[in-house]
A and B are shown apart, each in its own frame.
Chain A
Amino acid sequence: MKSIADIKAIRDKMKGQINLRDNKDAEQEIRIVVGMATCGISAGARPVFNAFVDDVASRQLRNVKVTRTGCMGMCALEPIVEVHIPGEDPVTYVHVDPDKVRKIVANHIVNGNVCTEYLIGEERK
């Protein structure tokens, strides 16, 4: 038998998973898009993707959705990640790895400071 606290704990744990299916406030939400075509995957996009999903879930960021997309056309810079925050210009990070993911989530998604050192513009310089 569960207690009331148990039920609430199940709810909080499961909410993060179910949240994935909520398309209702599409305009309000932050989207993290990971390029996951063949080139992205071979460059290590899958662990990057999973790191985002883990981090977002463990921080219980309900308005953030992690999605995939196909080839972004710059295969040499993969894994590529785009962050879309409503009302702001999209930001593109390149050569992302799981360590960078944690910084992007902590600095950019949570605190609103773009991680300039990983930006596509930096790479091109």
Chain B
Amino acid sequence: MVRSHVLVCGGTGCHSNNSAAIKREFETLIKERGLENDVSVVGTGCFGLCAVGPIVIVYPEGAFYSGMKVEDVAEIVDEHLVKGRLVQRLLYKEKSDEHVVKALSETNFYKKQTRVALRNCGVINPEEIDEYIAEDGYQALIKCLTELKPQEVIDIIKASGLRGRGGGGFPTGLKWQFAANSPGPVKYVCCNADEGDPGAFMDRSILEGDPHAVLEAMAIAGYAIGAHQGYIYVRAEYPIAVQRLRIALDQAKEYGLLGKNILDTGFDFDLEIRLGAGAFVCGEETALMTSIEGNRGEPRPRPPFPAVKGLFGKPTILNNVETYANVCQIILKGADWFASMGTEKSKGTKVFALGGKITNTGLVEIPMGTTLREVIEDIGGGIPNGKHFKAAQTGGPSGGCIPAEHFDIPIDYDNLISIGSMMGSGGMIVMDEDNCMVDIAKFFLEFTVDESCGKCTPCRIGNRRLLEYLDKITSGQATLQDLDDMEQLCYYIKANSLCGLGQTAPNPVLSTLRYFRDEYVAHVVEKRCPCHVCKGLARYTITDDCKGCSACARKCPVGAISGEIKSKFVIDPSKCIKCGVCMETCRFGAIVKE
């Protein structure tokens, strides 16, 4: 009889830190000690605290071990599993007070979270359908097929107030209603698992940690709108997610939970996986469907909307992974339960991938309406190295930044839009005083310029021009007039691009202009980057501490340093390419960058 479960995180973060070897080591040692009937080792999806991975949790105690190495496994097996003593040394320590945390649920990181979409991530073995079923898996589908009419399902989703988690925030129930109202025997249900925002990994974690939740929800959607075929569009760069999806699909088909005549109820629904090549624009709904059809992933004008004419010209719904991950819970626990969480117009929870200058990089799920301060200070553990918060970027390349003055804003769809950012799919990149906001805008714009599909001119050429303005600014060649012209260009691109990529691409520029115009002005007027980030504006000079050793002059790749031995050397700024080599070379700290 199994008396203890060892959960080893197999999410991408921990996986790349060797968690597979840790799991094998557990299995080997547990066998050696003859405990294989007492202890089961389970691979799970991401627990969310990837920053301190690889993570291992031992139940029933719930002991939370972090930063595990293969060598540590023997100690846990001998001390904890054999003798029942927790290994203090390896227990997770909350950074702030070095207080040793015994259980995951005790950490500040978890206390303020509410897990709906992530409820099974890090709890069940995603490759075992029975574990999903144990957590009431497929009960929502059974309930729909046996107790509810399709329209009743749609009504529940509508009443819950669920909105799309893929970026736009469109009401999900309404979307289903449109597709249900479209006549025709052939309809499709699609899942958007393209997740292209830099730094975002919410959807990947759900697919890796709880793939059945998405499959079940898609079958429910199929029942609701009258579709019998679905497609999951997932990027090929997510090998673990794809593999777990495949396993889940096979198991669900074997159990008769997908396929013909599901559970003998007469309802047919089948699912297929389609791999995307990872172009950002393929996350856009019309491009995604074009890509599933086997064509080059380019957007097309809307209307007609997919609910009327989508995949293969048939009525189609497309929802994001996280949107689907909420559906089964809503069916089981009711629309009122879901609507009790969140703010007036944004119900439920949202998953964010925290990244950048924050202590607990990882995955968090918070009720809508949680303030940015709570996310960053309480859950995220604050900014490392005693630095100060400057801004958080949400919505990735389509979004904008939230500056410190809005630190107490409750996070929901409408609030974020009102301050010039957006919810987006859930990437949240935290910036501290060392981040140059012009440089950040440039980073996102470089991304969109690369990813523009080129179909329409405002996006293809406009965004490139925009990037050129930013290059001018960061190399000290721009004028104040350029700043104004640049802003005009932003509005032009937004108004005239064909798809969401182009329409939102200037947002990072506009929002940094709005909140950090002084930084732009410093670049333009004073030819200075206040955060010393923009290379083009850096200036290297040699101070009086120079001993005249000539080491720097010999290293400088462009011969910009001259002088006589034993007297002070000088850098010729017109030749200097700002590589910084001289500063690293000088043993006397006589070279400064300003």
Contact = CB atoms under 8 A, between A and B. Distances in A.
Interface string A13-55: 0110110110110100000001111100100001001100110
Interface string B1-19: 1111101000000000000
A66 interface: yes
A106 B359 CA distance: 49
A67 interface: yes
B60 A10 contact: no
A1 B131 contact: no
A14 B134 contact: yes
B263 A66 contact: no
Contacts of B103: 23, 26
Contacts, number: 100
B135 A53 contact: no
Contact of A15 (B62, B134, B146, B255): B134
A111 interface: no
A69 interface: yes
A61 interface: no
A113 B195 CA distance: 57
B256 A18 contact: no
Contact of A36 (B2, B62, B84, B131): B84
B131 A14 contact: yes
Contacts of B146: 4
Interface in B237-252: none
Contact of A70 (B38, B85, B255): B85
Given A3-B263, A53-B1, A54-B1, A68 B84 contact: yes
B133 A67 contact: no
A36 B78 CA distance: 12
Contacts of A7: 133, 138-139, 142, 255, 257, 263
Given A14-B130, A18-B124, A66 B84 contact: no
A53 B1 CA distance: 7
B123 interface: yes
A50 B1 contact: yes
B146 to A, nearest CB: 7
B136 interface: yes
Interface residues of B, number: 37
A15 B2 CA distance: 13
A10 B130 CA distance: 7
B83 interface: yes
Contact of B264 (A3, A21, A50): A3
Given A3-B263, A3-B264, A67 B136 contact: no
B133 A14 contact: yes
A70 B131 CA distance: 30
A2 B255 contact: yes
Given A2-B256, A23-B104, A70-B83, A17 B2 contact: yes
Contact of A65 (B7, B60, B105, B123): B60
Given A23-B103, A37-B83, A38-B83, A10 B133 contact: yes
B117 to A, nearest CB: 17
Contacts of A50: 1, 3, 38
A11 interface: yes
A35 B82 CA distance: 11
A91 interface: no
Nearest to B61: A67
Nearest to A14: B134
A26 B106 CA distance: 11
Nearest to A54: B1
Interface of A: 1-4, 7, 10-11, 14-15, 17-18, 20-21, 23-24, 26, 34-38, 41, 46, 49-50, 53-54, 57, 65-70
Kindly list the 5 A-B residue pairs having the minimum CB-CB distance in the complex, ordered from nearest. A68-B84, A14-B134, A1-B256, A23-B62, A36-B84
